[in-house]
Structure 1
């Protein structure tokens, strides 16, 4: 009984306090900064999912990880506690995610106005019932785009947005959108056929659309859908101020029913998560040694965190590797906070932020050959490339040194971008993989010409086969720029061969 009381007091109750505090803190800040003051210009998917998922890791890691270690959990090293941390994070994150929808919908009342022009008097409101309005159907502006989704980007989603102007008003728009999802592994002919069919059916449905069939309007906040409507508007009015445009989408459900069962789900999800954590805390025994260290406030070692921080430290042992990885991560963070979709930004979004395409380069945007190697098409794309970059850089930095590693990375990346625009007429290419394949080309040269030891050569060739081989094979099924990969690999091999000709003895000495 004493042990149970100790576990509740030292682990479970602190978890409950931290969980409730984190949920309340985030929801309060979101309510004030976003819904009331409107000074949080971040997209809905970032505020509703990604930040709620990432935020709980901070308090769990800082204040609960040391307490979890007093539990005697079976497993290897630090990995045995990761599952506990993950469950605690989930128990906090899920209620935050569920509550975002509730807070947003409950923070605004339905504003009854006479005409569309009256919306200007309610800038911080979200829901409107307009007594009388007319739509200029003939002046509707279309925009079509596509995004991938699903595991391994196996779904291709088409979106067609129609921004329809209200009569006598050019800053308030009636938004109508259509969507269709198909398999992304289909052939180009099938995709083209599905695309044409989607356009034809959407245009037919739009021509028959009943603009008066609604109960109220919802004003779109920062979101991918709002961006889609804005792109439609900017095609005709490129000089408009995006922040002044109001996009209204029709809602057909009863306004009073908009909250549904969201509130019970918030408390229910927190209750279920808390109950799971309770069982996980109560069942294992106490590790007396760790408990003694904890009570005596001895610093608990966190080998995983220390290893990650050392690896990403630009002043550490692997300076070049750290600099390249941190640059890729920082650029992605900037992309997300500029409003790009964190999972699947569109081709036009990637082009706008610095992606490479033949037309832009040939008309003077040579800088894109450089910037494209630090831009990624979603978080999964980034994570995959960080793994490849980390492996390749570590295998080279102790031979080449930090400066040469970074220089060869950049040269390979630029040459890979050139290879991409030479091979593809209209493809927008982004990502570090061309530069990474350049590093693997150097590794291949060092393996072929015996810079690495015999034992090390087996390791390098195995890694090349796994990473490069799988990437090239996946590229055969579409969605991956093999032109950049192959150009990067060949460029790296040539660079590696040149380095060997110039300084073979030094390279062998460093490799040993």
Structure 2
């Protein structure tokens, strides 16, 4: 985006804000409500800081004007509560009126439930650090733990803003080159919302299944951190003002390592083709998705290349040992 486009966006935003202020009725307010810990409160405090020229502390109270009558505030909530309650009662009545079903259907449902329980049990057991997925489980749990701490501190569950991500260790050229080099690593464990965490967790598990058992715990951890670091470096080289977070650079490093391990005949001959098709599909899907914007393809490519090279080197060291 060039300077003219930025100036136009700023002018449009300013004019839109002024139009809203001119139309706002300041004399029909009913009451004020305290703003809870949220993105809105954060931005209000930033505005206060720019006005009073000092940073406000947590004791500051932000009040927002409300035009709706206070006594009418919960009417819609009550209506929705009774609607949901009515739907639940209706479902129970239907089940009571039509309780019978075939024995075969019952057996099928029972088998399906057992399968679902087994799948859920396997997923939960993968969170326990042990066996061939010791480091993978630790990394997965660490990502989840950091995300939960972020959420409980007030960061948005689905759409965290840029300042929040930077506070938690996101990577951006200006901060990193100013001496905050730790961001090259910390950003790998920070995620921009639950969907981001979920898909990266899925990618981590799928790729680590093939890599950690072959390389072993120490070499796998070295590969993961090194790929994430290279992805972060590629990001600040490629993008001048992009906030980068997430484990995708490290995960693409695992993808690259799988390619390297295929070339080194680390997998059984009968499995090589299927592994190659699967991982190439993941790589192409991730890179194509990154073309739509909002995705750090620089980190993907940096992690992919570094992971392929380091995966081959670490595998060779393992053979010597």
TM category (shorter chain) comes to 0.7 to 0.9
- Within 1, Cα distance between the matches of 2:23 and 2:79? 39
The alpha-carbon distance between structure 1 residues 264 and 208, as it changes in their structure 2 partners (threshold 3 A), is closer
Q: For residue 461 of structure 1, what is the aligned residue in structure 2? A: 276
- Within 1, Cα distance between the matches of 2:227 and 2:115? 43
Deviations 1:83-132 (A, max 9, x none): xxxxxxxxxxxxxxxxxxxxxxxxxxxxxxxxxxxxxxxxxxxxxxxxxx
- Structure 1: gaps of 5 or more residues: 1-187, 507-512
- Within 2, Cα distance between the matches of 1:361 and 1:465? 32
Q: For residue 499 of structure 1, what is the aligned residue in structure 2? A: 314
Matched residue SS, 2:62 = strand
Contact 1:451-1:504 at 8 Å conserved across structures: no
RMSD: 3.1
Matched residue SS, 1:217 = strand
The higher-RCO structure (CA 8 Å, 6+ apart) is 2
- Within 2, Cα distance between the matches of 1:370 and 1:470? 25
Matched residue SS, 1:250 = strand
Q: Is the aligned partner of 1:319 residue 2:134?
A: yes
Give 1:261 shift.
Answer: 3.7
Answer with 264-273 or 366-375: which moved more. Answer: 264-273
- Within 2, Cα distance between the matches of 1:323 and 1:189? 47
The alpha-carbon distance between structure 1 residues 193 and 379, as it changes in their structure 2 partners (threshold 3 A), is farther
The alpha-carbon distance between structure 1 residues 473 and 221, as it changes in their structure 2 partners (threshold 3 A), is same
- Within 1, Cα distance between the matches of 2:251 and 2:116? 33
Give 1:213 shift.
Answer: 3.5
- Normalised TM-score (structure 2): 0.87
Q: Which has the higher helix share?
A: 2
Matched residue SS, 1:249 = strand
- Within 2, Cα distance between the matches of 1:465 and 1:189? 41
- Within 1, Cα distance between the matches of 2:276 and 2:84? 48
Q: Is the aligned partner of 1:219 residue 2:34?
A: yes
Q: For residue 294 of structure 2, what is the aligned residue in structure 1? A: 479
Q: For residue 188 of structure 2, what is the aligned residue in structure 1? A: 373
Deviations 1:198-246 (A, max 9, x none): 332113433564433322222222233222212222345443222x222
1:5-44 superposed matches below 5 A: none
- Within 1, Cα distance between the matches of 2:200 and 2:120? 21
The alpha-carbon distance between structure 1 residues 502 and 263, as it changes in their structure 2 partners (threshold 3 A), is closer
Q: Is the aligned partner of 1:419 residue 2:234?
A: yes
Deviations 1:360-401 (A, max 9, x none): 122221111111000000000001101110101111111011
1:198-209 superposed matches below 5 A: 198-206=13-21, 209=24
Contact 1:351-1:428 at 8 Å conserved across structures: yes
Contact 1:324-1:406 at 8 Å conserved across structures: no
- Within 2, Cα distance between the matches of 1:503 and 1:342? 41
Q: For residue 285 of structure 1, what is the aligned residue in structure 2? A: 101
The alpha-carbon distance between structure 1 residues 280 and 483, as it changes in their structure 2 partners (threshold 3 A), is farther
- Within 1, Cα distance between the matches of 2:7 and 2:86? 48
Matched residue SS, 2:37 = coil
Contact 2:215-2:314 at 8 Å conserved across structures: no
1:224-303 superposed matches below 5 A: 224-235=39-50, 236-242=52-58, 244-279=59-94, 282-283=98-99, 285=101, 302-303=117-118
Q: For residue 143 of structure 2, what is the aligned residue in structure 1? A: 328
Contact 1:310-1:316 at 8 Å conserved across structures: no
Q: Which has the higher strand share?
A: 1
Answer with 425-434 or 459-468: which moved more. Answer: 459-468
Query: Which structure has the larger Rg over C-alpha atoms?
Result: 1
1:89-238 superposed matches below 5 A: 196-206=11-21, 209-235=24-50, 236-238=52-54
- Within 2, Cα distance between the matches of 1:346 and 1:263? 32
Contact 2:215-2:318 at 8 Å conserved across structures: no
Give 1:247 shift.
Answer: 1.8
Give 1:333 shift.
Answer: 0.5
- Structure 2: gaps of 5 or more residues: none
Contact 2:290-2:297 at 8 Å conserved across structures: yes
Give 1:449 shift.
Answer: 2.9
Contact 2:30-2:68 at 8 Å conserved across structures: yes
- Within 1, Cα distance between the matches of 2:7 and 2:147? 31
- Within 2, Cα distance between the matches of 1:280 and 1:403? 55
Q: How many positions carry a matched residue from both structures?
A: 314
